[in-house]
Amino acid sequence: MIDGIPILLCNFIVILLLTDIRNFSELLLSFDRITFVIKYILLTLASTVSVSIFWSFISPIETNKVINFIRKKKNLDEIGVRSTTWDEFFNDGSEFKAIAIYKNGKEITKGFLKNWNLDPQDDKEILLEREEVFEEHPECFETIEKNYYNASKDILIKEYNLDKLYSKLDENN
């Protein structure tokens, strides 16, 4: 229901501007005429396209926020705001990321994320540093925050929750 409110408002504004209809009772009476119904259907289609184009120009991220708001109200899962899963995983606003990378089920590297490539045309590249922190404090890297998995390449990237590490560092200082 809430999805169509901007379209209905757009329709009503156009009707107020272009016809002699001034209230809802006159609008309801107008639906008795088949020509008005056809014009209203065409107006609704035009309004739908106009509102969709308007939302798409605002920004895909803003559009996804609106879509997620509506999905949340309907008790549906939210969709990601980024264009790719890779982008969603690495650009979530986290200042530091501790990750481990697995290929074919075997750990190949781990460390703190320093830099990464987000160009979808290029191979994915990641620069990690400070692997020794994982060795010195393995108990701090038990809770996984989220996973990225590429099924075609059998690559799993685990991002660890850093709360235990931060607590331990605070105790030592």
- 43 pLDDT above the threshold of 80: yes
Helix 34-58 vs helix 5-18: angle between axes, to the nearest 10 degrees?
Answer: 120
Chain position carrying tokens 């990641």 = 126
Other residues' Cβ atoms within 10 Å of the Cβ of residue 27: 17
Chain position carrying tokens 């408002």 = 9
> Chain-centre distance of CA 95, in angstroms?
19
In terms of pLDDT, which residue wins out, 45 or 162? 45
Average pLDDT over the chain, rounded to whole?
83
- 172 pLDDT above the threshold of 70: yes
Nearest Cα to Cα of residue 120 among 155, 160, 88: 88
Q: Give 55's pLDDT tier (boundaries 50, 70, 90).
A: confident
In terms of pLDDT, which residue wins out, 31 or 66? 31
* Residue 154, Ramachandran bin (φ over 0: left; ψ between -120 and 50: alpha; else beta): left
Do 167 and 139 touch, CB atoms closer than 8 A?
no
Distances (CA, A) of 63 to 19, 56, 81, 151: 32, 7, 9, 29
Chain position carrying tokens 């939302």 = 55
Q: pLDDT tens for residues 73-102?
A: 888 877 765 666 777 777 766 777 888 989
- 60 pLDDT above the threshold of 70: no
Give the pair of three-digit tokens for residue 35.
Answer: 């020509």
Nearest Cα to Cα of residue 171 among 142, 139, 130, 128: 139
- 109 pLDDT above the threshold of 70: yes
Give the pair of three-digit tokens for residue 78.
Answer: 């939210």
**What is the DSSP pairing of strand 106-116 with strand 155-160?**
unpaired
